[in-house]
Structure 1
Amino acid sequence: MRGTNGGMKLVKAALAGGVALATLAVPVVAQAQSRPDQQAFFGLYKELVETNTTLSSGSCTQAAAQIGARMKAAGYADSDITYFSVPDHPKDGGLVAVLPGTDKKLKPMLLLGHLDVVEAKREDWVRDPFTLIEENGYYYGRGTMDDKAQAAVWADSMIRFKKDGYKPKRTIKLALTCGEETTFAWNGAQWLAQNKPDLIAAEFALNEGGGGRYDASGKRQLLAMQVGEKASQNYTFLASNPGGHSSQPVPKNAIYELADAIKAVQGYEFPVKFTDTTRAFFTATAAATGGAIGGAITRLLANPLDTEADALISRDKAMHSTLRTTCVTTILTAGHAENALPQRATANVNCRIFPGETVEQTRLKLQELAGPLVTVTANAPVRPTAIPTKLDPKIMDPARKLAAKHFPGVPLLPLMSTGATDGIFLQAIGIPVYGAPGIFIDPDGNGTHGLNERLKIESLYAGRDYLFDLVKLYAG
């Protein structure tokens, strides 16, 4: 999940927070499980977590090769597995594996996961981030949640299908890629979409972004299917002046001009909009919440221009972001000497753009807000326009039906991500992408992108069983 761009995105974003630390940590040698398939999965998961795949010093290519070796040992032929990378990014490779279906009339489905993880400095962590550690019912380590849990589940499912002799009606494809966690890295999903679209062609894809949520007591509270996401785009605001000696100030000052521009952005609210997904989400939320908030949601659904209702709902930062495009200043750079008038001042403004709105439309609004003294440019890479994903009963209904069996009494809601995933590159070539539910996280976000990332062991294995059955259900 791209933090500069996001994991169960809305749920993770809404629940991000601190992590309670314990004092005793021991490396996992072997996780005792009652089923041999769970033991095999643990070996894959542990190897993946303990393989450093950070941009600075890791290798997704190595992780992909390790998973590919396991797939070949399970019976996949060389022709079933495609490794990919480019010469100038040899460590950012990935793989695509294919399990052919028996019904050629059915279009394939695609399982998408990313192997790369956010940077983790050993000196900042209580535990070694690249040693899988079991403690108090959790697995600790960088990537235990984002996104190596799901990547391991997808790879393990493909291995189990092959070993079991399972013959799906629908071809199942697996794509494990690199570069999701940074906007400036080489991105494997984008490369596949632009250079090997036939290799990953599918009727739909299952990706990260969904999941589930525990309440504060550890009870399962809800499941989420991510249906659509925002696009993440960075913009540079630039103010420039001739400068001069600081002993003789003049009205034209790059810092002041930039400050005025970013204050204008701070004070602006993009208009409220709804997709089918967010309308369904807010309708369900209004019914479940009731009271003043529930009433305000109902009014806003009927009239998106109801500013009073919007203000009340938007006190919740996750709901606020789900309703609209948001832009926020994240980096400032200004001046060149302490005794000189600034010649240059820049700001990075990070926007999460609502589906259907373009990067250029957003830039034009930002330029209007910034005024004539500041120029606004879209930073490379320019993201594709987020396409609203269809709230498809063929996707939602099987997931709900299966959830009732695996997680009785837990509602499953459609959510639009306020962050972004690699799914946006698949959407751009016509593949609808859904963030699969199943793996539950804690209210504090499990340290995703932060220190001491962790995942509840019970959640991993229960989610694995659900996702395995879900893939088989979709595959016919």
Structure 2
Amino acid sequence: MRKLLTGVISAAVLVSTMPGSALAAPAAKGDPYGGEEAFRSLYKELVETNTTLSSGSCTLAAERMAARLKTVGFTDDQLTIFATPEKPKEGGLVAVMPGTSKTEKPILLLAHLDVVEAKREDWVRDPFTLIEENGYLYARGTEDDKAMAATWVDTLIRFKQEGFKPKRTLKLALTCGEETTYAFNGAEWLAKNKRDLIDAAYALNEGGGGRTDGKGVSEGGKLVVESIQVGEKGVQNFRLETRNPGGHSSIPVRDNAIYELAAALVKLQAYDFKLELSDTTRAFFAKAGATRTDDLGKAMQAIAANPADSAAEAVLNTDRTFHSMLRTTCVATLIDGGHANNALPQRAGANVNCRIFPGHSIEEVQKELQAVVADTGVTITPVPPLRPLAKTPPMDPAIIGPMEKLAAKYFPGVPLVPTMSTGATDGIFLAAVGIPTYGVPGAWGNPDGNGVHGLNERIEIKSLMTGRAYLYELVKAYTK
């Protein structure tokens, strides 16, 4: 097994400690639902490996997944554990399954290993013990993003056990740092430092998936939509700051750093960036709008046909998600100021978090913020890290087509719509170096978010297993 910049526990040692079910006989060749026992073992091990920034280790999780791949025949030169000396616990894994084609570029499977912090005293159950209750699996990371990470590893294991020979080379990158802005980000590091290792025609990532009508399918609920993420917004924080000589609070003046900052933020509160559509969002509003009969559905179709339709825009702006999908957004998220109860403030500042519509640079947004504030006494500065320009990948039929075909098989009658994420994934780092990245359909969640990033995170077992089967077939379809 190759090591980059840090030592690695040997795969042989790790294999000897794995549960026996990890070495279970493979399922019948080509059975998308087969091998559930072995998958559950893998998934349990990954979920129960603490990968929080504060007390966990992504590197350990990566080593454990590498050990499982080595058990089924992946060789040392096909498995690369990476980390930096400064961040030895924030490492990851790149695995390569060579294809038979010498001309077609590889496909990259991406997932992140790190999870959001989870305090035992806040949870009903231990967040790092996989617990099954009422058709759901509970633990931190059950959905975000260890369901996908485990599925990708499981898919490569099953291909190897079946003797499947992919035409395209398959690459897997399990990385750390997606959940924490100032942590070591493995996807960014690979894109900047090991571009050849992850070189691919395109990548498959988180960001897609389905939503129910409010209850899980196993609880009598209904799957109402499946989505493909085709593009995402860029994320950038800005520091707005005012300064003043200050003085004694007993003799106030109108020239006050806090008031000046407050006036700037009120202007920002009232401001909407210009409406925009990309190929992705135009297709989303047209297709998703056609499935609805309410005023929002009519407005969605109208805006797709005519982005200048101000009446349709006004209706869509009443929905916070649609409002965000139509433009860049910037919102104040943190504020600080002053230095004493009895002194006029010498400084006041706020963090403004911007989600930038694809195609716009940090500099463009900074200039627009300055125009909105219209006060030279307010400095506006980008806060590191500076993220890459968001780039929307093409709606390539060769990529979208197999997703649609298999969605019709696994989710009959459920619309499959392209969507642009208003959040962020590690796909932005791959897009920046020329690897278009798509969030795949498959597993689904409930509208309440299933506790992702919050308390008692959970995933419906039927969702996990159906998503696993869908992605197994999808990857095979791309590589035959």
In 2, Cα distance between equivalents of 1:160 and 1:125: 35
**Once the 2 structures are TM-superposed, how far is the Cα of residue 61 of structure 1 from its aligned partner?**
0.3
In 2, Cα distance between equivalents of 1:340 and 1:116: 44
**Once the 2 structures are TM-superposed, how far is the Cα of residue 291 of structure 1 from its aligned partner?**
4.4
2:212 maps to 214
In 1, Cα distance between equivalents of 2:97 and 2:324: 39
RMSD over aligned Cα atoms: 1.6
In 1, Cα distance between equivalents of 2:295 and 2:472: 41
**Once the 2 structures are TM-superposed, how far is the Cα of residue 302 of structure 1 from its aligned partner?**
3.8
Is it true that 1:118 corresponds to 2:81 in the alignment? Answer: no
**Once the 2 structures are TM-superposed, how far is the Cα of residue 304 of structure 1 from its aligned partner?**
2.5
Is it true that 1:365 corresponds to 2:363 in the alignment? Answer: no
1:345 maps to 348
> Which stretches of structure 1, 4 residues or longer, exceed 4 Å deviation after superposition?
none
SS at match of 2:35: helix
1:335 maps to 338
> Which amino acid in 1 is paired with 2:425?
T
In 2, Cα distance between equivalents of 1:300 and 1:412: 19
In 2, Cα distance between equivalents of 1:161 and 1:297: 42
1:460 maps to 464
SS at match of 2:230: strand
Is it true that 1:398 corresponds to 2:396 in the alignment? Answer: no
Equivalences for residues 13-412 of structure 1 within 5 A: 37-217=35-215, 218-370=221-373, 371-412=375-416
- The number of residue pairs the alignment matches comes to 446
**Once the 2 structures are TM-superposed, how far is the Cα of residue 301 of structure 1 from its aligned partner?**
2.8
In 1, Cα distance between equivalents of 2:233 and 2:431: 12
In 2, Cα distance between equivalents of 1:154 and 1:302: 38
SS at match of 2:239: strand
> Which amino acid in 1 is paired with 2:140?
R
In 1, Cα distance between equivalents of 2:462 and 2:293: 32
Q: Of residues 418, 421, 429 in structure 2, which corresponds to 1:417?
A: 421
In 1, Cα distance between equivalents of 2:436 and 2:458: 30
SS at match of 2:313: helix
More divergent stretch after superposition (282-291 vs 314-323): 282-291
Question: Residues 269 and 108 from structure 1, CA distance in 2 versus in 1: closer, same or farther, beyond 3 angstroms?
Answer: same
Q: Which runs of 5+ in 2 are unaligned?
A: 1-20, 22-26, 28-32, 216-220
SS at match of 1:83: strand
Is it true that 1:469 corresponds to 2:478 in the alignment? Answer: no
Give CA deviations for 1:111-136 in whole Å, capped at 9, x if unaligned: 00000001111111111111111111
Q: Which runs of 5+ in 1 are unaligned?
A: 1-29
2:187–2:426 contact (8 Å) kept in structure 1 = yes
2:285–2:303 contact (8 Å) kept in structure 1 = no
TM-score by length of structure 1 reads 0.91
More divergent stretch after superposition (367-376 vs 55-64): 367-376
Give CA deviations for 1:164-188 in whole Å, capped at 9, x if unaligned: 1110001000000000011111100
Give CA deviations for 1:428-451 in whole Å, capped at 9, x if unaligned: 011110001000101111011111
2:283–2:304 contact (8 Å) kept in structure 1 = no
SS at match of 1:85: strand
In 2, Cα distance between equivalents of 1:343 and 1:51: 47
> Which amino acid in 1 is paired with 2:340?
A
TM-score by length of structure 2 reads 0.91
**Once the 2 structures are TM-superposed, how far is the Cα of residue 36 of structure 1 from its aligned partner?**
6.4
SS at match of 2:196: helix
Q: Which has the higher contact order (CA 8 A, sep 6+)?
A: 1
SS at match of 1:382: coil
> Which amino acid in 2 is paired with 1:445?
G
Give CA deviations for 1:311-365 in whole Å, capped at 9, x if unaligned: 2111111111111101111111111111111111110110100000111101111
Q: Of residues 440, 443, 467 in structure 1, which corresponds to 2:444?
A: 440
2:188–2:429 contact (8 Å) kept in structure 1 = yes
SS at match of 1:122: coil
In 2, Cα distance between equivalents of 1:198 and 1:36: 34
Question: Residues 423 and 201 from structure 1, CA distance in 2 versus in 1: closer, same or farther, beyond 3 angstroms?
Answer: same
More divergent stretch after superposition (463-472 vs 405-414): 405-414
Give CA deviations for 1:392-411 in whole Å, capped at 9, x if unaligned: 11111111111111222212
SS at match of 1:113: strand
2:288–2:417 contact (8 Å) kept in structure 1 = no
SS at match of 2:124: coil
